[in-house]
Amino acid sequence: MLKRLLTFLKRPFFFNVDSLRFNLVYSLLTVVLYNAVFFKHAAEYQSGFLFLGCVFVCIWMTLFIAVSLLFHKHTRKPLAVTLCLLNALAFYFMFIYNAALDKIMFLNVLQTDVYEVRDLLSPKLILIMLFFGIFPAWLICKTRVSPTPLKRQFAAAGGAVALIAAIMLGNFAATDAFLRSNRNLRYYLTPSNYIGSIISVIKIKARPLPDLVKIAEDATLNRYWKNDKKNLFVFVMGETARAANFSLRGYERPTNAPLTPYLKDIVYYKQTFSCGTSTAVSVPCTFSAGGQKGFVPGTEAYTENLLDVLEKVGYKVLWRENNTGCQNVCDRVELEDPCKTGKFCLDEVMLDNLAEKADSYDRDAFIVLHQRGSHGPAYSEHYPPEAELYKPVCHQKDFPYCPQQSLVNVYDNSVYYTSMFLAKTIDLLSSLSDRYNTVLIYISDHGESLGENGMFLHSAPYKTAPLVQKDIPFLVWMPDSFARDFQIDKACLQQQVDKPHSQDNIFHSVLGLSGIKTGLYNPELDIFARCRRK
C-alpha cells in the first residue's frame, strides 16, 4: 500500500481533466471551502434550506463564469494557486475573528505595522494556510488540464447564465428582499470580498492628491479667560476602549478605580458614539470639521483639520504617538515617538519630559497623546503586571479557543491600565496648574467585540456593527480653577452627561474652549457652550 502511494506521489500529475471540468470543480470547491462564514450569516437572515441551496448554486455558477473568463492556458494555474492562498488567508480572519473584509478593513491594513501583524499571527493561521491554501495549491499544480473546445465552453457558460436567471426570476421577491436587506453580506463572500475591497483601496490611494484643502481661514483667537496663564490642553486619543466596560458608565467591575481621587473634577458622557469602527476612519473623523456625515475616508491626507486650525491662531500643537500612526492628522504639526525600543511601550512613556516640553513653548499648547490602549488581540502585552487585576487571562490570539471570561478579564485589565494612565496624566497636569490653564479630554476611537454573537475585535461595517464597537467612553477632567477662569458651570456640564454625544462634538468643543472664532464653529456641537456663564 505504501509502495503504491509513493509511486502515485512520484507521478508528475495526479489528475487529468479538461478545462471545463477544472473550472467547474475549482469554483465549486471555492464556494465550499472558503464561504462557510458567508452561509452562516446568510442563514441568520434566511434559514430556509431551499433558498440557501439556490444561493449556493447562484454563487457557484457566477464564480464558474468568472473563472472561465479568467483562466486560460497561461493564466489558469498561477491565478488558481494565488487565489487559493489568498482565499485561505481571508477565510482565517473571517472564521477566527468574524471579520468583514470591506475597504475600511484594507485601509486599516495599510496602517498596520509589523508588531500588529505579529499580534494577529497564530498556530491556527499556519494550519488553515496549510490545509486550505498550500495543500489545494499543490493539488492544482499536480493536475494536467487539457483544452476544451470553445463551443462546449460557450454552451456551459450559457447554461450557467440560464440557471442563475431561472433561480433568481423564479424567486424574484425573496431574492430582491434578501439582496436589499443584506448588502453587507458581500463582505463575507470569498473571493469577491477582498478583490473588490482591494480594488477600492487602490483607487483611493492611486488617486493623485489634490492641493491641500484649507479650512477656517477666518479663524482668530479670543483670549476670553480671566487670567494671564498659558493654556495646556491635553487630548488623549484612546484606542479600542468600549464604554460597556467602564465603571464610570456603570460596569460592575471597578475598571476606572484609579480615577476615583479625581471624580469631582471629571465629567463622563454616558452616551457617546464613534464616527467609525476602525482607527483609519475614527481618528481622522474625530479631528475633521465635517463630522461623521461630512467625512470621506482618504480625504484626511489633503484636508486640514482641528490641529491646523489651532496652529493658525497661535497654539503650539504636539502629537505624541504610541500607536501605529496618526492617520495623516498630524502631518503638519510636531510629531514625537517617545518609545525608543522599536516596538510598543506602555502608554505612560508618553508622559516622559512632557512638563519640560510644555515649558519650552512660549505660547499656548495643545498636546495629543495617542494611546496603545486596549488594542487587540494581544491585550495582555499593553499593560504592566500591577494592572492585571482579573484572572485568568486569555493569552491566545485565536479568541474562539479562549473561555470568554478570560478574554473579558484581559480586556478589563487593559481598561484598568488606561485609567492608571489617565490618572498619571491628571496628576501631571495638576502639578502644572499653578502656571498653566490645564484640562484633559479623553475619547476612544472606537469600541470592541469580545465574542458577543461570535464577533471579535472591531472594524465591522458601521451600519451593521454591534453597539459595543460604536459606544465609546468620553470624559473631561476640568479643575475648579479652570472652570472659574473659563466661566464654565461644572454643575451644568454634569446635567448634560445622559444626552447623546459623538466624536462630532470634539472639533467644535475644542474650538470653543480654546477661544477660536471661525465661521465653521457650531455652538450646538460645543459641549461647553451651553454651560458657559454669560
**CATH code of 389's domain:** 3.40.720.10
The answer to whether 511 and 306 are in contact (CB under 8 A) is yes
Number of domains into which the chain is organized: 2
Residues 232, 143 share a domain: no
* 444 in a structural domain: yes
Convert 418-439 to b/e letters by CB count within 10 Å (16 or more is b).
Answer: bbbbbbebbebbeebeeebbbb
The answer to whether 275 and 503 are in contact (CB under 8 A) is yes
What the block records as the C-alpha cell of 226 is 480671566
Residues 248, 190 share a domain: no
Residues 321, 390 share a domain: yes
* 508 in a structural domain: no
* 483 in a structural domain: no
The pLDDT of residue 51 is 84
- Cα distances from 155 to residues 24, 38, 160, in angstroms, run 13, 30, 9
pLDDT band at 106 (very low <50, low <70, confident <90, very high): confident
Per the model's pLDDT, the better-predicted residue between 46 and 68 turns out to be 68
**At residue 344, does pLDDT exceed 80?**
no
The pLDDT of residue 215 is 97
* Domain that includes residue 361, residue range: 228-263+275-475
> DSSP 3-state assignment of 437?
strand
Q: Which segment of 51-65, 183-197, 393-407, 418-432 scores lowest on mean pLDDT?
A: 393-407
Residues 424, 282 share a domain: yes
**At residue 207, does pLDDT exceed 90?**
no
Write the burial class of residue 15 (CB in 10 Å: 0-12 exposed, 13-18 middle, 19+ buried). Answer: middle
Residues 136, 63 share a domain: yes
Residues 327, 182 share a domain: no
Residues 250, 122 share a domain: no
* 156 in a structural domain: yes
Locate cell 458614539: which residue? 273
Residues 293, 156 share a domain: no
String of DSSP letters for 244-302: GG-GGGT-SS-TTGGGGGGGGGEEE-SEEE-S-SSHHHHHHHHH-SSHHHH--TTGGGS
**How large is the average pLDDT for residues 338-353?**
87
* 251 in a structural domain: yes
* 268 in a structural domain: no
* 36 in a structural domain: yes
The answer to whether 184 and 197 are in contact (CB under 8 A) is no
**How large is the average pLDDT for residues 488-515?**
97
Under 8 Å CB-to-CB from 528, ≥6 apart: which residues? 486, 488, 493, 509, 512, 513
**At residue 15, does pLDDT exceed 90?**
no
Residues 286, 194 share a domain: no
The pLDDT of residue 8 is 60
* 125 in a structural domain: yes
Residues 295, 259 share a domain: yes
**CB-side exposure of 98: number of CA atoms within 13 Å?**
21
The pLDDT of residue 1 is 63
pTM, two decimal places = 0.88
**Domain stops at, among 475, 504, 529:** 475
Q: How many CB atoms lie within 10 A of CB 510?
A: 23
Residues 242, 200 share a domain: no
The pLDDT of residue 181 is 65
Residues 318, 243 share a domain: yes
Strand partners, 271: 500
What the block records as the C-alpha cell of 121 is 499571527
**At residue 134, does pLDDT exceed 90?**
yes
